[in-house]
Amino acid sequence: MDIKKNIKEFENTLADTGCSLIAVSKTKPVELIQSAYEEGLRDFGENKIQEMVEKHEQLPGDIRWHMIGHLQRNKVKYIAPFVHLIHSVDSLKLLQEIEKQGKKAGRTINCLLQVYIASETTKFGLDEQSLIELLTSDEFNSMSHISICGLMGMASNTDDEHAIRKEFKQLSLLFSTIDKKIDHQAVEMRELSMGMSGDYKIAIEEGSTMIRVGSAVFGERNY
Ligand SMILES: *Cc1c(COP(=O)(O)O)cnc(C)c1O
């Protein structure tokens, strides 16, 4: 795997798109992340708390760490002091814990709300109605250490490009709807996190501002 070449290719693909690359480094060793860092990457995505904490401790301090995986509430405290963006907020209860830990750490934590767009039942996320309920709730209104920066979604794991595009379109539409509907100082729809190794090209065409790419940068993962 020539990660240098892969990174160059992504730089070319993303030039002038307004979309940025989150290099998904889960399961990959710190040496490999360090090499990607030396090629200029600063945004890395992890899906496990423990792994993110360990890598954060060993790697340069100016890396922006993105939590992209399903989050257990009792573990938020470990990443609250340093996490750059949590992509995977899927409940009010989780958001309340992030608020609590943000307060303790003395910082405002950037979050994306994860939306359920796939036809598979295994994926996490909020539907449109619960998303709007959350953003208009008194509980959310009383929070002061949360900044909602946008939405995240995962398309179905399929070769059917038409189906994938349809799901991304749906998320993109919701992104602009929320932007118009919700007038709240802690909500600003700037980032639309969608697209992975298999579907990032479609995601960019449908308005993604952050693609989360693992295997196409670092090679296949061995679990
Ligand atoms: C693993 C993962 C990715 C990256 O997957 P690749 O197919 O390797 O690009 C993106 N998003 C989430 C939420 C992931 O868990």
pLDDT by 10s per residue, the chain, length 223: 799 999 999 999 999 999 999 999 999 999 999 999 999 999 999 999 999 999 999 999 999 999 999 999 999 999 999 999 999 999 999 999 999 999 999 999 999 999 999 887 666 899 999 999 999 999 999 999 999 999 999 999 999 999 999 999 999 999 999 999 999 999 999 999 999 999 999 999 999 999 999 999 999 998 7
215 C-beta closer than 6 A to ligand 1: yes
Cα 47–Cα 116–Cα 65 angle in degrees, nearest 5: 25
35 C-beta closer than 6 A to ligand 1: no
Q: Which atom of ligand 1 is nearest to 200's Cα?
A: 9
Q: Give the strand pairing for 43-46 and 64-67.
A: parallel
CA 174 to chain centre: 16
Residue 122's pLDDT is 65
| Candidate of 43, 68, 159, 164 to mutate for ligand 1, largest count of ligand atoms within 8 Å of Cβ | 68
Q: Are 137 and 148 in contact (CB under 8 A)?
A: no
What is the distance between the alpha carbons of residues 57 and 154, in angstroms, rounded to a whole number?
Answer: 29
Q: Residue 67 — φ and ψ, nearest 5°?
A: -90, 115
Distance 212 CA to ligand 1 centre (A): 6
Q: 71: which DSSP letter?
A: -
pTM for this prediction: 0.97
Distance 213 CA to ligand 1 centre (A): 6
Length reported for the chain: 223
**Residue 47 pairs with which residues in a beta bridge?**
none
Which residue's CA is the closest to the ligand 1 atom numbered 11? Answer: 212
Which residue's CA is the closest to the ligand 1 atom numbered 12? Answer: 68
24 C-beta closer than 6 A to ligand 1: yes
| Candidate of 20, 21, 24, 200 to mutate for ligand 1, largest count of ligand atoms within 8 Å of Cβ | 24
| Candidate of 113, 196, 201, 208 to mutate for ligand 1, largest count of ligand atoms within 8 Å of Cβ | 196
**Strand, helix or coil at 25?**
coil
Cα–Cα distances (Å) from 65 to 1, 55, 186, 214, in that order, read 23, 10, 21, 14
CA 78 to chain centre: 18
Which residue's CA is the closest to the ligand 1 atom numbered 13? Answer: 68
Widest Cα–Cα separation across the chain:
50
Sole residue written with tokens 């991304």: 168
Structure tokens at 126: 């909020």
Distance 126 CA to ligand 1 centre (A): 19
Residue 222's pLDDT is 83
Q: Are 65 and 79 in contact (CB under 8 A)?
A: yes
What is the distance between the alpha carbons of residues 214 and 198, in angstroms, rounded to a whole number?
Answer: 10
